[in-house]
Amino acid sequence: MSVKKTAQEWKAILSPLQFKVLREKGTERAFVGKYTDNYKKGVYNCAGCNSPLYTSESKFKTHCGWPSFFQAVPNAITLHEDNSLGMQRTEIVCTNCGGHLGHLFKNEGHSVPTGERHCINSISLNFEE
C-alpha cells in the first residue's frame, strides 16, 4: 500500500457511505449503485486513491445488483480470505490504498474468459470515459 491516511483524513475526502464501504468493509445496497448498468467505454478507478482498477472491456452483465468484472488491471487489486458473516468469500481491496472494493466469486457459470466475477461496490469506484 502506498497511500496511507488516518481515519480522520479518509473521512475528510470520502462521503460517509464511501468511508463505510472503503474503510470499514461495508456494502452498498444492491441495484442502487451508479455504475451497475454503466457500459460506456472507459476505466474504473478507486474512489479512495484514483488508481485504475478495471476497464470497461472486463465489465459484464450479471443482474446481481452490483458492477461485475471478470478481471482487474494487472496488480491493481489484492485478495484476502474473508470468513465474516458465516460465509467463506474472497475480499477484493485496492492494492494502492487498501480500500475495500467487494468480493470475488468463481465458477458461477458466467460466459467470461476467467470464470471469475469481481462483484464491486459502485461507491468504491470513479468512472473515467
The strand ranges marked E within 29-112 are: 43-46, 52-55, 59-60, 68-69, 77-82, 89-94, 100-106
- The residues annotated as belonging to the active site are 119
Nearest to 31 by CA among 56, 60, 64, 58: 64
